[in-house]
Amino acid sequence: MKARSRTSSRPRSHAPRRVWRRPALFFVTLVINACSPTVPSSTSYCPLNGSLVAQIDGVAWSADCVAATNSVVPRYIEIKGNTQDGAQWLTFRVYAAQPGTYQLGGPEPPVVGVVSSAGLNLECQHHPGTCPAWGTGTGTITISNLTGASASGTFSFDLIANTLTGATGAKAVTNGRFNVTF
């Protein structure tokens, strides 16, 4: 018997393999990059729309991450700031349509659902679940500049403990300043 040759007289095409090489390489690269541990960029989880600083019980504090909202209906601005590690938060909302000084707690006479408020959370990394929180007590927010694109001003609060979170005592937030963009 004659041995069969494995070679053919017609040329063998490698085109199908070449077509699959690039997509396969792309897929492997995509899977490796998607599964690799990465640290997100600061802008993906830590917005910086300005500055927010204060003294909390006499200790200087500043936010690494600042987010601000300018709502038209109902008319309010809300500013949220936290440390990069998320352990400390300071936030306030003030119902205001123009520059001026506003009392924490809302306008006089009060309008249902329109209450200016403030909140503070500290040591969140050291507490599983709810971290100690302080909320609206008394204070003022002075808006010196308010446009559709930005706001700036000062604030001071005496916040009361939310005892359901394990917080105790009051917190004095003084010398507060904000300068934010929306």
* Rounded Cα distance, 66 and 81, in Å: 4
Name the band, by pLDDT with cuts 50, 70 and 90, for residue 123. Answer: low
What letter would DSSP give residue 43?
Answer: H
Long-range contacts of 14-23 (CB under 8 A, 24+ apart): none
Q: Nearest Cα to 86, choosing from 67, 69, 64?
A: 64
How much is the average pLDDT of 158-171? 86
- Distance between CA atoms of residues 146 and 91, nearest Å: 18
Domain boundaries, the chain: 42-181
pLDDT, residue 105, reads: 67
Arithmetic mean of pLDDT, 120-145: 77
Q: Residue 30, SS3?
A: helix
Q: What is the per-residue pLDDT across 71-106, written as a single tens digit (0 to 9) for each?
A: 988 889 999 999 988 888 999 998 888 999 988 865
Q: What is the dihedral sign for C-alpha 83, 84, 87, 90?
A: positive
Q: What angle do CA 45, 47, 49 make, to 5 degrees?
A: 175
- Longest Cα–Cα distance of the chain, Å, equals 109
Phi, psi for residue 101 in degrees, rounded to 5: -105, 130
The CA distance from 156 to 105, in Å, is 13
Tokens of 9: 């007289």
The answer to whether residue 113 scores a pLDDT higher than 60 is no
Tell me if the bond preceding 109 is cis, omega within 30° of 0. Answer: yes
pLDDT tens-digit map of 24-36? 333 333 333 333 3
Q: Rounded to two decimals, what is the model's pTM?
A: 0.68
Distance, in Å, from the CA atom of 124 to the CA atom of 71, rounded to the nearest integer, reads 28
